[in-house]
Amino acid sequence: MGWVAVAGAGELAPLAMQRVVVAGQRLLLCHGQTGYFCIAEDCTHEDYSLAFGCVKGDRIKCSLHGSWFDLANGQPCNEPADCALKTYPTRIEAGQIWVEVVV
């Protein structure tokens, strides 16, 4: 699939997130403290949407069981989650946020 424009560069407020679907994959575009990140939408612990959680700094919290994940590498920061989220490279170009998705 390659790089896909998913949002305008000024569209997402700091510490906000937006659901996007690319090539049938449900993703979350997050505006963390240090930039934009894109992750798989569902928590690895319970297949629960992380869109119900919150972004703080460069981490996202699952509201179901309280696990935090690092947005940069997808690694869980605490239990009960113990598997990393899938992450997708992002870049800003021509006023758009682009996500790289390989199918």
Quote the tokens at residue 19.
């659901």
Question: What's residue 1's pLDDT?
Answer: 74
Q: Which of 85, 87, 84 is nearest to 37 (CA)?
A: 87
Distance CA 3, CA 13 (A): 22
Q: Which of 54, 10, 8, 47 is nearest to 26 (CA)?
A: 47
pTM to 2 decimals?
Answer: 0.94
Question: What's residue 7's pLDDT?
Answer: 97
Kindly list the domain boundaries of the chain, sorted by start residue. 2-101
What is the CATH number that goes with domain 2-101? 2.102.10.10
Question: What's residue 26's pLDDT?
Answer: 96
Asked whether residue 18 carries a pLDDT value surpassing 90, the answer given is yes
pLDDT band at 74 (very low <50, low <70, confident <90, very high): very high
